[in-house]
Structure 1
């Protein structure tokens, strides 16, 4: 499987996104997830879409359908040390029907046709990111934008979470993917590296976001 996008649960209207724009990342079009109760500001980066996600309608978020996704628990858990991250994966080759590689529950959001679903990893502790597999997404990403800061290629993704025990089987699976690691650490932190960090630029957003970007 391949990484498609990462979301970070943030405050309403995602004021944190302004720092990303100031750094030199071009912001894409925002989106409102009808029936799911969330909205976003997003950045189509080389190799991954970064989504800053917030609660737009609490009733929709807590509905029976959306509870399957588990986002309401994720937003609530932010105050108790839960992970603010979600990782969304796709198959390497959708045409040959790559199946979801982990046990899952099906989520049928209102904004998708009834025949399509998202596969949400089962029994994942809230201290870890939410893991989702979407089997109908194309393998290639054609939405990446030009960014004034000059990044061109995603070379690594690292996420840590302060779990007390061993990582879940899904986390261990992700840790084995090329260019990715998902491991126990001191804090919830996402680090994205572009172009092998050759320019020596490192920006730490932890005053607003649990995020470090290097290029």
Structure 2
């Protein structure tokens, strides 16, 4: 398994946007996640990406399994970690299948504990393929090379490591 992307929940006004552009990052989006109550912009790299996500429909978020609106609380972790690859059998009992209403072909296994425990990042696995090379953005035929940022700029924000993350996944970030 590999880290495919992480998200950070931001205010709907996305105040970080200009600072990212000033640092030379290309942003892709916004993209609406209908039925989940969110929208996002992305910094895409050839093998992974960073997602800046915001709540744009609180009612839809309240009626969605992920209930991301709850992560707007000051004490809640604002991050999510998405891994690609085969989820080991011994961990599967700890996950629940989530099919996002905005993409019924997308199948995500979400760590149940991370839905209810707001002190930890939302942890999920893209279960469409056991091979990380099959995951987005590298297999998305709708993306052109011009939207990608140079690979050496991919970064993991250091404070993610301060949150409760199961050891198996911590070793992957």
- For normalisation by structure 2, the TM-score amounts to 0.77
Gap change, CA 1:29 and 1:50, over 3 Å in 2: same
- Structure (1 or 2) with the greater helix fraction: 2
Deviations 1:78-129 (A, max 9, x none): x1x22110011111xxxxxx3456311222221222x653211022331121
Query: Is the contact between residue 49 and residue 154 of structure 2 (CA under 8 Å) also seen in structure 1?
Result: no
Structure number, greater radius of gyration: 1
Query: Is the contact between residue 9 and residue 53 of structure 1 (CA under 8 Å) also seen in structure 2?
Result: yes
- Aligned-pair distance for 1:45? 2.6
- Aligned-pair distance for 1:29? 2.5
Match of 2:11 in 1: 11
Gap change, CA 1:156 and 1:41, over 3 Å in 2: closer
* Residues matched between the structures, number: 156
- Aligned-pair distance for 1:153? 3.2
- Structure (1 or 2) with the greater strand fraction: 1
Match of 1:160 in 2: 161
| Residue 73 (structure 1) aligned with residue 70 (structure 2) | yes
- Aligned-pair distance for 1:59? 1.0
Q: RMSD in angstroms over aligned alpha carbons?
A: 2.5
Query: Is the contact between residue 7 and residue 53 of structure 1 (CA under 8 Å) also seen in structure 2?
Result: yes
Matches within 5 A, 1:102-113: 102=91, 103-113=94-104
Structure 1, unaligned runs of 5 or more: 92-97, 181-215
Match of 1:208 in 2: none
